[in-house]
Amino acid sequence: MTDALVVLLKFVGAAFLLSAAVGLIRFADPLQRMHASTKAGTVGAGFVLLGVMIQMGGSEVLFIGLATGVFLLLTIPIAGHLLGRATYISGACLDSLKGQDGLKGVLDRSPSALDERLASSPRER
């Protein structure tokens, strides 16, 4: 019974990780890609971690697994937020977003993307 649960948890985790990878490939703009990788990646890693903790057992594994889970839950959302903010401020193309810009007037946004600014500036040699 325990072996079946471990396999199921790891399989579900791998499915979430695969969906995060597919989201990185298929989504159109940086914010959507970041959303896919942070949300599905965190959930997938959590399921795999839970499966490993059940499989290995023991108090040391439980402590390390819980510490790793807490670390993932504390760092990945913060890193995703900072990357999203940097993406917005840099002027990256966000064509697939619908509706009004909720951050207009709150954050300064570059009028052109970084790639465009680098391509148009003279290169120093």
Phi/psi for 37 (5° steps) reads -70, -35
CA distance 120 to 35: 30
Q: Which two tokens stand for residue 66?
A: 């819980």
**Does 99 fall in a domain?**
yes
Q: For the chain, how many structural domains are there in total?
A: 1
Q: Is residue 125 part of a domain?
A: no
Does a structural domain hold residue 104?
yes
pLDDT per residue as tens digits for the range 50-93: 999 999 988 999 999 999 999 999 999 899 889 988 888 888 88
Give SS3 for 33.
helix
pTM recorded for the entire structure: 0.78
Buried b (16+ CB within 10 A) or exposed e, 68-84: ebeebeeebeeebeebe
